[in-house]
Amino acid sequence: MLKVEEQTPVEFSSELLAKFDDVKSRYPEGKQKSALLPLLHLVQAEFLWVPTSAMDKVAEYLNIQPIEVYEVATFYTMYFLKPQGKYALEVCRTGPCCLVGAEKILSHLENKLGVKEGEVTADGLFSFRGVECLAACGYGPVLQISPEYTFYENLTEASVDKLIEDLKNKS
Amino acid sequence: MSRKLLLEHINVPGINTLEVYRQKGGYRAVEKALKTLTPEEIVEEVKKSGLRGRGGAGFPTGMKWSFLAKPEGVARYLVCNADESEPGTFKDRYLMTYIPHALIEGMIVSSFALGAKVSYIYVRGEMMPQIRILEKAIAEAKAAGWLGKNILGTGYDLELYVQPGGGAYICGEETALLESLEGKRGNPRIKPPFPAIAGLYGCPTVVNNVESIAAVVPIINDGGDEYAKIGIGRSTGTKLISASGNLVKPGVYEIELGLPVEEFIYSDEYCGGIANGKRLKATVAGGSSVPVLPANLTLKLANGEPRLMSYESLSEGGFATGTMLGSGGFIAFDEDQCIVRNTWNFSRFYHHESCGQCSPCREGTGWMEKVLHKIEHGHGTMEDVDLLWDIQRKIEGNTICPLGDAAAWPVASAIRHFRDEFEWHIKEPVKSQSQNYGIANYATPIEKAPVTEEK
């Protein structure tokens, strides 16, 4: 990551900047760096990932060094540092979900989509990965789909198939 | 039916809206606190209630509040810890989804008690739907005059904001949470100074779990003494338990502390027994970090008395035969589950979530994951079990924050109580790939249960 070839130039729309301003106003004077995590979420919702060029622009907006943005974007797991599918499926793979079949769901997704964890399908629609506990252990197995983070519970192979068909038809 | 304080109205249609929440007596605690009580009196009520932090540590909330420094002219902050990520725990998600105003009402009362003019609810980033729910509820409350300038004409001002996290378990540790809220990596701080002296932006700060803050509402409505009458001994009040794993009815339950564990697992009012007619093999009673116990020690203490859902009873016997209430994440394993595989899974989790500051945790969690992976996949040796024991001993107590301990305890307890299962994996490398060790004698009376001697 952070390679030159992945430097996709981005423009922040005035709507996005208005959202930035709203977030920044929540913190005391001089503590605008607190807005960093929410801002990166807004960037990801807009571009579906967080390009380095966008991180640089966020740094400029918050008047902090670019490295302060990079270290945060790479520390937290939610920020995608390379492009994902339009629907990025994240399946919980931690203990309680595995007790009720999360591992089966992950291997089913791999077969169904024909890509490995972290890869994007040829049509650009889907990518998937296993993530750690999503705090929905009683309703497992669960998955969420970014950027809206809609949540699907009590998954079975059949319900995953249906979900993927529905998403395909929607787009 | 046991008494419900937090979830009493959870099934009322529209309880997530301000209007219905008000009809059911919501925001009475704000009126009572702001109009009739001083901040000191509120802290006193919370102290009297005996409420203990619901996030896992169980530290008395009123005591934590009373430590807050109050220097002249320096802002004070209340930060709600809604970074719920402990495997097995999902009660805060439930509360915020279905009854968001309970948290907001608690935040207003608590902020007033602590003298905070700006408060934050730090919600884990994955809970975007809950963040949207909370923001909508805050807007409703603000429009109705419960937040903002001069609340209820009392001259008290409060702004309440929701802050999303970025996906890091470590940010549930209060100082890591504060770092994250300041827009940095979630590296826990060295204590002291404690947040009560120097927290958010270096100002005095209290960080409380969602459930602790919501519990302040019934404490103010009914009084601390009334709250303390519920429960058993020093475990006062009600507790939300997140039940998951191989249960007939997993979900979130509000219990009066002191409920027998057996009743919680098997009665129809709660979990309804083990799913698919199987037998109970083991439980993790308070979220993945606490020691795993075999079925016999879950249901009964070492002396044969019934074990209760309370801070004291669950930790009875120390780590030799007990566990902890923790955050109330109750995970049940049926007879077909593999303890080695689950321990490996948890180790992978802690390795993934270690922030990397302290070598024992950063290196040790990865090492444990690899050794457990080796044993689980049929390549282990007998020395590996002793090696695992040695690694966990060297992590525990040697790190800045409790994540190291949290990673060590599940491994230690799995070896302590299930050593024969580890050894079976090593002696039967082929069979263990297609079969499970089964329930063995984990459900038989305690005198026969395998308990490994502490080294």
Does the beta-carbon distance from B182 to A33 stay under 8 Å?
yes
What is the domain-level CATH number for residue A11? 1.10.10
Residues A64 and A115 in one domain: no
- Domains of chain B are 18-229 (3.40.50.11540), 232-334 (3.10.20.600), 339-437 (1.20.1440.230)
Measured between CB atoms, which of B118, B159, B331 is closest to A96? B331
Residues A68 and A123 in one domain: no
The number of folded domains in chain A is 2
**pTM to 2 decimal places:** 0.94
Structural domain ending residue among the three candidates A42, A75, A108: A75
Distances (CA, A) of B421 to B124, B340, B425: 36, 7, 6
Residue A154 lies in a domain: yes
Residue A80 lies in a domain: no
Q: How confident is the model at residue A139 (pLDDT cuts 50, 70, 90)?
A: very high
Residues A109 and A166 in one domain: yes
Q: What is the mean pLDDT of residues B84-94?
A: 95
Residue A81 lies in a domain: no
Q: Which two tokens stand for residue B6?
A: 């937090």
Chain B residue with the nearest C-alpha to that of A141: B245
Residues A101 and A164 in one domain: yes
Phi, psi of B112 (to 5 degrees): -60, -45
Neighbour tally for A165: CB within 10 Å: 10
Structural domain ending residue among the three candidates A41, A75, A109: A75
Rounded Cα distance, A120 and A98, in Å: 24
A97 among annotated binding-site residues: yes
Instruction: Determine the structural domain holding residue A101 and report its residue range.
Output: 87-170
Q: What is the mean pLDDT of residues B416-438?
A: 93
Per-residue pLDDT at B455 exceeds 80: no
Residue A32 lies in a domain: yes
Residue A82 lies in a domain: no
| Mutant choice from A29, A65, A132 vs B, greatest count of B C-beta within 10 A | A132
Rounded Cα distance, B163 and B82, in Å: 10
Rounded Cα distance, A154 and A161, in Å: 13
Residues A95 and A71 in one domain: no
- Chain A residues within 8 A of B127 when measuring between CB atoms: 135, 149
A92 among annotated binding-site residues: yes
Per-residue pLDDT at B181 exceeds 50: yes
Structural domain ending residue among the three candidates A54, A75, A96: A75
Residues A57 and A93 in one domain: no
Sign of the dihedral defined by the CA atoms of residues B323, B326, B331, B337, in that order: negative
Provide the ipTM.
0.94
Q: Supply the pLDDT for residue A7.
A: 63
Does the beta-carbon distance from B90 to A138 stay under 8 Å?
yes
Does the beta-carbon distance from B250 to A94 stay under 8 Å?
no
B93-144 per-position pLDDT tens digit: 999 999 999 999 999 999 999 999 999 999 999 999 999 999 999 999 999 9
Residues A93 and A39 in one domain: no
Q: What is the DSSP string of B207-231?
A: EEEHHHHHHHHHHHHH-HHHHHHSE
